[in-house]
Amino acid sequence: MGFSPPKTVEQTRKLVEQEQVLAIFSSVGTAPNSAIHRYLNGRAVPHLFLSTGATKWADPKNFPWTIGWLPSYQTESRIYARYLLSIRSNAKIGVLYQNDDYGKDYLKGLKDGLGDKANLILMEASYEATDSTVDSQLVALQASGADTLFIFAGPKQAAQAIRKAYDIGWRASVFLNNVSASVATVLGPARLERSVGIMTALYMKDPTDPQWTKDKGFQDWLAFMKKWYPEGSTEELYNVWGYSIAQTMVQVIKQCGEDLTRENLMRQAANLHDLELPMLLPGIRLNTSPTDFFAIKQLQLMRFDGKTWVRSGELVSR
């Protein structure tokens, strides 16, 4: 829907009122989903496994028909904060973030994770999703004296930020949100050699990582891509994400059995227990309940070595 909230509202109304769809599945983006959040809940239409990790999607008391899938953005940034404090408690932090609920969610999680050390943040620089570049923000962040950069951005702006930081000679320690951790879409365009040492937190197997070559889950994914999406890139992390989130929906439909109603679909979406998916990292399982609307709660810290993401430590959770 073009990442346009007004267009999202228009098309969602058409799907619900004219096409009478069973549910809305995996709609993308914090802003577009925010635009249809109340509407779908008001009509008791399942709003399932959104492709956004905004914290608001886990509010079963007030929005019982909306359930997330991705790890919470706030959980992710709290993990970064805790890790940073464990290795460099005197870091000087600069933050680049998108000026909407998406970026602000990450920023809040970072501050919460830092706690009484939140004053380590020397500067916060925001950008609008429609901005053509983030160059001026990177220059200002470098000038602040920060030695650690958090990038809470979309893929385009994340690639720009990595490239610009390198071009101006800023060798800060970089933390990159997992939304933009694709080697193919972000680190590649930014140039891999400029991305060495970047930290992120992942939950999916990186298809560019040779360690998965003989992994059955990876081989099955490759076979799926060859059969159903031959033009798609087998180096693209987003194709792993699409495959995995679709498998989650398939499991929910299976659990519904013959009772494929909106009520039962929502009931089963909130009733996942230790679901393992072949392209999630080992040990990560999906769990939901009527009071817990985030399916993925575990993440793996990773460091980019110039070719692929390398695990750092054990699985961490909120």
Q: DSSP letters along 263-278, please?
A: HHHHHHHT---SB--T
139 and 257 both lie in a single domain: no
State pLDDT tens for residues 32-85: 999 999 999 999 999 999 999 999 999 999 999 999 999 999 999 999 999 999
Q: How far apart are CA 29 and CA 212, in angstroms?
A: 29
Whether the predicted pLDDT of 194 surpasses 80: yes
In-domain check, residue 206: no
Structure confidence at residue 313 (pLDDT): 87
79 and 28 both lie in a single domain: no
H or E element that contains 199: strand 199-202
Q: Which amino acid is at 248?
A: T
CB atoms within 10 A of CB 193: 9
Question: Hey, which residues does 310 pair with through a beta bridge?
Answer: 303
Structure confidence at residue 318 (pLDDT): 66
**Beta-strand pair 47-50/24-25:** parallel
94 and 180 both lie in a single domain: yes
State pLDDT tens for residues 265-276: 999 999 999 999
- Angle at 176 (CA atoms; ends 36, 164), nearest 5 degrees: 110
In-domain check, residue 209: no
Asked whether the beta carbons of 142 and 167 are under 8 A apart, the reply is: no
In-domain check, residue 208: no
pTM of this prediction? 0.88
Query: What's the Rg (C-alpha) of the chain?
Result: 20
Four-CA torsion 12, 17, 22, 24, nearest 10 degrees: 10
61 and 77 both lie in a single domain: no
279 and 247 both lie in a single domain: yes
29 and 58 both lie in a single domain: yes
102 and 156 both lie in a single domain: yes
Q: Which amino acid is at 155?
A: P
Structure confidence at residue 65 (pLDDT): 98
Q: Which residue among 200, 226, 248 closes a domain?
A: 200
Q: How far is Cα of residue 72 from the mean position of the Cα atoms in its chain?
A: 8
64 and 89 both lie in a single domain: no
Q: Which residue among 171, 200, 229 closes a domain?
A: 200
What average pLDDT does the segment 110-128 reach? 97
Q: Which of 181, 314, 166 is nearest to 238 (CA)?
A: 181
Q: What percent of the chain has pLDDT over 70?
A: 99
Mean per-residue pLDDT over the chain, rounded: 95
Asked whether the beta carbons of 205 and 279 are under 8 A apart, the reply is: yes
Structure confidence at residue 163 (pLDDT): 97
124 and 141 both lie in a single domain: yes
Q: Which amino acid is at 17?
A: E
Domain count, the chain: 2
33 and 82 both lie in a single domain: no
25 and 48 both lie in a single domain: yes
Whether the predicted pLDDT of 169 surpasses 70: yes
Q: How confident is the model at residue 1 (pLDDT cuts 50, 70, 90)?
A: low
In-domain check, residue 210: no
Q: Which amino acid is at 5?
A: P
Q: How many angstroms separate the Cα of 58 from the Cα of each of 12, 42, 87, 185?
A: 21, 17, 31, 28
Q: Which residue among 200, 225, 250 closes a domain?
A: 200
- What is residue 280's three-state secondary structure? strand
State pLDDT tens for residues 261-318: 999 999 999 999 999 999 999 999 999 999 999 999 999 999 999 999 999 988 998 6
122 and 186 both lie in a single domain: yes
In-domain check, residue 313: no
In-domain check, residue 314: no
* Domain harbouring 40, CATH code: 3.40.50.2300
Structural domain span for residue 40:
5-71+215-299
Instruction: Tokens for 168, please give them.
Output: 């101006």
Contacts of 133 (CB under 8 A, 6+ apart): 160, 164
In-domain check, residue 101: yes
In-domain check, residue 271: yes
Structure confidence at residue 164 (pLDDT): 97
Whether the predicted pLDDT of 122 surpasses 80: yes
Taking each helix axis from N to C terminus, what angle separates 101-114 and 73-87, rounded to the nearest 10 degrees? 40
List strands edge to edge, sheet with 47-50. Answer: 24-25, 47-50, 66-68
